[in-house]
A and B are shown apart, each in its own frame.
Chain A
C-alpha cells in the first residue's frame, strides 16, 4: 500500500518547497512586464527564496509540518536562529507564488473587479479608479524594496497597505495593518528595473493592464465566507 508514495518522516510533513510553474509564457505579459524580467524574476529571484527557505527549514524539521501560509502568519514565533531567514524567504516564496497568479495575459481574464468584490470596492473606496490611485500611491511611497497590498481586514472591509522587503500583511506582529492579501504588487527594483529603470510610476500604471481579477475575486469570495 505504501509503494509509490513519497518518503515522508511524518504524514503531515511537507515536501521541500519547489518553484511553481507559471500558467503563461515569460513573454505573455509584454509589453507591460518584459519577458527577460519575468524569466529572471521567476527562475532566479523566486528560486533563491525557495532554496533559502528549504535550507532554513532543514535546521528545524519540526517546522516542515507547517504550511507556507502558517509559516508566514506565525513568523514571530519561530525559533530565533531561523526567524529572519523564514520571514525573508518564506515571505518571498509566498509573495511571489501569489504574484504570478495575480497577473495574466491581456484578455485571458477579467482585468477589473466584478461581483461582490466590485461592490466592496465601490463601498470602501468609491470606485475602482480611486482604489487604483490609492494603491499606486502606497506603491510609489514604499521607500526601498517592498510590496503594495489590497487586502481584507479583520472587520471584513478592504484596506490598502505596503510592507518592506518580503514582509506581507498576514504576518502577525510584523505588518502595520493585518489583512488577508487579495492582491499584491512587487515594487522591488528587480520587478521593473530592466524595462522601467527609475520610472516606478510608469510600471504601476502599466501593471493594471495585466492584473488577474479572477484570482482576486476568488480570494475575496473565499475570505468573505470566513
Chain B
C-alpha cells in the first residue's frame, strides 16, 4: 500500500529556495517509502509517515521508526492488533506530541535521549512523558524479535550470573519488577557503571535519568498486553522472557555500554 503524508505540506514562511528544498526533501522521503511499499514487512500495513515541520523547514528529530518486524511477526505471543495499535497509535502519538512540544525551542534539533534528559532536568513532566515514551517504545520493539528468548550470549550471561547469581535468578527478579510495577510502567535491566541492575519505573520513567544505561526493557502498561492476556500480566511477562527477548540486541547493548 502506498504511504501518504498524514498532514499537508506547509511551505508558509519559507523563501522560494527553502520551499523547493523542503518540498524535495519531503517528497523524496515519501517516494523512497513508496518504492519499498511491496515489502509490507518493512513499513507495515498501516504506517502513516508523518512529516511534521519546523520553522526551519526540515523534519523533526524525534522519529517514529517502523517496527523491526511485521505486525504479525510476534503472533501468538503478541498479536497483530496489539502491535498495530501500540506502534501506530500509542507510540506514534508520543512522537507527534513530543515534536510539537519541542518545535521552536532550543531542543528542536536534539535527539530523543537529549530531549528526555533535558525535560527531566527542567522538571517538564509533560515533555518528559512524551519524549521518554517515544524513547522507551523504540527501545522496546528492538528488545523483541520473532522466535526470541533462548540462550543468552556468553559475555552477557556471565555478567548476569555474576550480578544475580544465575540466569534464573535474574529472570525471577526481572519478572517480579514487571509484575509489581503498579499501574502503568516498565521493567528494566541496566548497567549502573559497575554492575547490571533490575529496576521498575512508573509511567514514562527511564533509568537514564539516574545515570544508568538500559540494555533491556519490557512495557507493562496494560495497552502492551491487554488484548492478548487481559488481566494475566504474569503470563505476558513469562512469555516475554522465555520467547520474545532479542538477546543479541541486549548483548550488543551491554557491549556498547561497558566499552
Is B35 an interface position by the 8 A CB rule? no
Question: What are 17 A-B pairs at a CB distance below 8 A?
Answer: A88-B182, A144-B183, A144-B185, A144-B221, A145-B184, A164-B183, A188-B222, A189-B222, A189-B223, A189-B226, A190-B226, A193-B223, A194-B230, A197-B227, A198-B89, A198-B90, A198-B93
Provide the B72-108 mask, 1 if CB < 8 A to any CB of A, else 0.
0000000000000100011001000000000000000
Within the complex, which residue of B204, B222, B231 is in contact with A44, where a contact is CB–CB below 8 Å?
B231
**In the complex, A45→B230 CA distance in Å?**
10
Residues of B in contact (CB 8 Å), total 19
**In the complex, A175→B129 CA distance in Å?**
21
Question: How many cross-chain pairs have Cβ atoms below 8 Å apart between A and B?
Answer: 52
Is B146 an interface position by the 8 A CB rule? no
* A197 contacts across to B, CB distance below 8 A: 85, 89, 223, 227
Is A114 an interface position by the 8 A CB rule? no
* A194 contacts across to B, CB distance below 8 A: 226-227, 230
Is B148 an interface position by the 8 A CB rule? no
Provide the A122-158 mask, 1 if CB < 8 A to any CB of B, else 0.
0000000000000000000001111000000000000
* A44 contacts across to B, CB distance below 8 A: 230-231
Q: How far is the CB of A47 from chain B (nearest CB, A)?
A: 10
* B9 contacts across to A, CB distance below 8 A: none
* B182 contacts across to A, CB distance below 8 A: 88, 165-166
Q: Are B231 and A193 in contact (CB under 8 A)?
A: no
Is B203 an interface position by the 8 A CB rule? yes
* A48 contacts across to B, CB distance below 8 A: 231
Q: How far is the CB of A141 from chain B (nearest CB, A)?
A: 9
Smallest CB gap from A48: residue in B = B231
Which residues, 98 to 135 on A, are CB-close (under 8 Å) to B?
none
Is B202 an interface position by the 8 A CB rule? yes
Q: Are B231 and A40 in contact (CB under 8 A)?
A: yes
**In the complex, A45→B183 CA distance in Å?**
12
Q: Are B222 and A190 in contact (CB under 8 A)?
A: yes
**In the complex, A88→B183 CA distance in Å?**
9
Within the complex, which residue of B183, B203, B226 is in contact with A193, where a contact is CB–CB below 8 Å?
B226
**In the complex, A193→B231 CA distance in Å?**
11
Q: Are A165 and B183 in contact (CB under 8 A)?
A: yes
Smallest CB gap from A146: residue in B = B183
**In the complex, A143→B221 CA distance in Å?**
11
**In the complex, A23→B47 CA distance in Å?**
44
Among B221, B223, B226: residue with most chain A CB under 10 A: B226
**In the complex, A216→B185 CA distance in Å?**
32
* B184 contacts across to A, CB distance below 8 A: 144-145, 189
Which residues, 10 to 50 on A, are CB-close (under 8 Å) to B?
40, 44-45, 48
* Those 6 A-B pairs whose CB atoms lie nearest each other, nearest first: A145-B183, A144-B184, A189-B222, A44-B231, A165-B183, A198-B89
Known: A144-B221, A189-B226, A190-B231. 14 other contacts (CB 8 A): A45-B231, A88-B182, A143-B129, A144-B185, A146-B183, A165-B182, A165-B183, A166-B182, A188-B222, A189-B223, A193-B226, A194-B227, A194-B230, A197-B89
Provide the B203-230 mask, 1 if CB < 8 A to any CB of A, else 0.
1100000000000000001110011001
Q: How far is the CB of A2 from chain B (nearest CB, A)?
A: 41
Which residues, 147 to 203 on A, are CB-close (under 8 Å) to B?
164-166, 188-190, 193-194, 197-198
Q: How far is the CB of B80 from chain A (nearest CB, A)?
A: 13
Q: How far is the CB of A19 from chain B (nearest CB, A)?
A: 14
Smallest CB gap from B185: residue in A = A144
Which residues, 49 to 104 on A, are CB-close (under 8 Å) to B?
88
Q: Are B203 and A143 in contact (CB under 8 A)?
A: yes
Smallest CB gap from B202: residue in A = A144
* A166 contacts across to B, CB distance below 8 A: 182-183
* A164 contacts across to B, CB distance below 8 A: 183
Q: How far is the CB of B233 from chain A (nearest CB, A)?
A: 10
